[in-house]
Amino acid sequence: MNQKVFKGRVIASAIIIIGVSLIFFIRLFSLHFSPKLTVADRKKPEVRRGLIKDHNGYILAMSIRSESLFANPGEMDDRGAAARLIGPIIGAPPQWVLERISQEKKFVWLKRKLPGDTADRIRALNIRGLYFRNEYKRVYPHGDLAANVLGLVGIDNRGLEGIEFYFNDILSAKEEISSASDIDEIVMGRNVNLTIDRFIQYTAQKELDAAALACNAKQGAVVVMDIKTGKILGMAKYPSFNPGDRSTLTGEALRNFAVIDSFEPGSTMKIISLASMLENDPSVLKKWVTCSGSIVIGDTTIGCPRSHGHIGMPDIIRYSCNVGIIESMKKYSKESLYKTLDSFGFGKRTGIELPGEFDGILRPPSAWSGLSKYSISIGYEISVTSLQLVSAFAAIANGGVYNSPSIIESIENGSGGIIQEFYPRSRGKVVNEKTARILLQLMQGVVRDGTGARAGSRYYAVAGKTGTSQKYSRRGGAYSDRSMSSFIGIAPVSAPSLCILIVLDDPGGSESGGEVAAPVFARIIDRVLPQMGVKGEVLKAAAPLFSRERSRNIDARLMPDFRGRSLEESVYILTKIQKQVSVEYAVQGTGKVQSQKPVPGTALRHNDTLVLYLGE
């Protein structure tokens, strides 16, 4: 190729490249300044996280407006003096404040979601470069009530645990944000209505706390289930925490024992083992065995609480005889026992609407040793969750029909309209009705004059089973002298309504379930069944009286007049009262306060419960 041709091609290529580049820049310029193409500088709309309410509409979690403090360090004059003034008010060391406002930034957070009148105290300082931003703060009116169920949110209102985490997208209006048309509008999150009953939850939590403290238990749980529907009416945990107070948070308190943790149930499993035997051979009820206080299986000796002598099946259950169950189980196959355990839902999740649910441990028969069938029949070599156990016994009380547990009633939009309802999920029959009826009768004997006598009620006929299991020590490679004590009960027997499980982990002195857990059951049912109107025993609350007196200054000794006040204003006043008197409060409905309990002017005492009824 000669030099002239080559030079011509280079020039032609350069002209083409320059031309294409010129066209590209002209087009880019026209698009940038074209009135037909605009990209909105869209900001995220403000979100008010949805309510979490109990079965009766009482608010368990809500969001109220609060102010957050930030600074523009470049606008501040004397940063050292500012730090010394700001620190004590926001509860931070002045040195920390100084480090924050010494940064070469135009925006630094100093304190998010200021409590009470802190913002007004900061404004009064009149320091240049300090600013406030409105945010929503998550508030839990009942403190630690149902904290293990509700969970908590982070500083940016994102759910971290419990219902707050599991339903975060619903509560935080994720769908509504993506479709919001006005950047200035407040997007309302959806409300989540729980099956939890505030009164039942409070009673379960109070009685569990008292029992755990009395026996110095490491932790404990109470689960209250509606037998006919599978709805969880109460789920208490000890120790608990206040989701609105980070200083109460510990790893152990955050764990929802009933859902996450499993344990070897001990003697409560004898009822399930007997169900398996009855399904295969009802004549087992006529079987008699001799208990000398222990039994040898292979090279293992399994003990009994005491020597029961010649004993029949009703007394085997009544006095929780290990030898009796093991002797009776000898003629039945391990496959038949596994089939019953599997049908009752052991070894798999219940599907409850809470995060972190554990499957429990139920190995297939092929992995069982020669001892396993007998160990499992008395509640060892199997690990169950509290939810699995209470669901299984509720199925027995329900004529053999298993309902999966649920803790969600419905989901509402921001205006209170129902978007989605949750209904009972049944797995059908797990045992026949006759077997269920026999088991219920035998459990009634446990409470009447057996190991569960301390669970007896003065007002209702009840049934139940005690459970005490030794805890396995991984460090020692053997069972220790520490125990897991439990009681599971059904009431009333004539028309089963509630199934309640009480579990106490490592009670001091290795007390049995009949000693430490059974009395908790009795105290709970004697309070909640009348409240539920069981057998017509309805407790009616007195109608409130009204007064028109109002006071500008809040006197924590007397009940203020809340009527006509907004939710935010009312919560602010209630928070100020709580600083002087340890009261609890409940809020029902939306809008402004229409009525209240107690009436205005009533003297307030420690542990009083204040109730506000809101309406539009």
DSSP summary character for residue 77: S
What digits encode the pLDDT tens for the residues 72-116? 998 888 988 989 999 999 999 999 999 998 988 889 999 988 887
Least confident of 99-103, 396-400, 436-440, 464-468: 99-103
Residues 260, 68: Cα–Cα separation, whole Å: 36
Angular region, 516: left φ>0, alpha ψ -120 to 50, beta rest: alpha
What pLDDT is attached to residue 178? 55
The candidate with the shortest Cα–Cα distance to 144, out of 224, 7, 24, 238, is 238
Every domain of the chain with CATH number 3.30.10.20 lies at: 541-616
What pLDDT is attached to residue 546? 31
> Is CATH 3.40.50.2000 what the domain over 46-194 is classified as, yes or no?
no
Which residue has better confidence, 117 or 446?
A: 446
- CATH: 3.30.10.20, 3.40.50.1370, 3.30.300.160, 3.40.50.880. Which one for 541-616? 3.30.10.20
Every domain of the chain with CATH number 3.40.710.10 lies at: 202-410+417-536
* 45 has a pLDDT exceeding 60: yes
Helix axes 269-280, 386-397, angle to 10 degrees: 40
What digits encode the pLDDT tens for the residues 535-580? 633 323 333 333 333 334 577 788 888 888 887 788 878 878 887 8
Strand partners, 193: 53, 410
Residues 357, 351: Cα–Cα separation, whole Å: 8
Rounded average pLDDT over 270-298: 93
* 36 has a pLDDT exceeding 60: no
Q: What's the half-sphere exposure (Cβ side, CA atoms, 13 Å) at 248?
A: 16
- How much of the chain exceeds pLDDT 90, in percent? 57
Residues 176, 119: Cα–Cα separation, whole Å: 31
Task: State the pTM of this model.
Answer: 0.80
CB-based contacts of 140, cutoff 8 Å, min separation 6: 60, 61, 147, 150, 242, 243, 244
- How much of the chain exceeds pLDDT 70, in percent? 87
End-to-end CA distance of the chain: 91
- Residue with structure tokens 């409060």? 585
Strand partners, 223: 235, 501
Strand partners, 429: 401
Rounded average pLDDT over 118-126: 90
Least confident of 29-43, 44-58, 509-523, 600-614: 29-43
What digits encode the pLDDT tens for the residues 251-269? 888 889 999 999 999 999 9
* 34 has a pLDDT exceeding 80: no
Least confident of 106-115, 124-133, 467-476: 467-476
CB-based contacts of 569, cutoff 8 Å, min separation 6: none
Residues 150, 166: Cα–Cα separation, whole Å: 10
* 524 has a pLDDT exceeding 90: yes
Predicted confidence band at 39 (pLDDT cuts at 50, 70, 90)? very low
Residues 377, 580: Cα–Cα separation, whole Å: 55
What digits encode the pLDDT tens for the residues 212-234? 999 999 999 999 999 999 999 99
Q: What is the mean pLDDT of the chain?
A: 86
> Is CATH 3.40.710.10 what the domain over 202-410+417-536 is classified as, yes or no?
yes
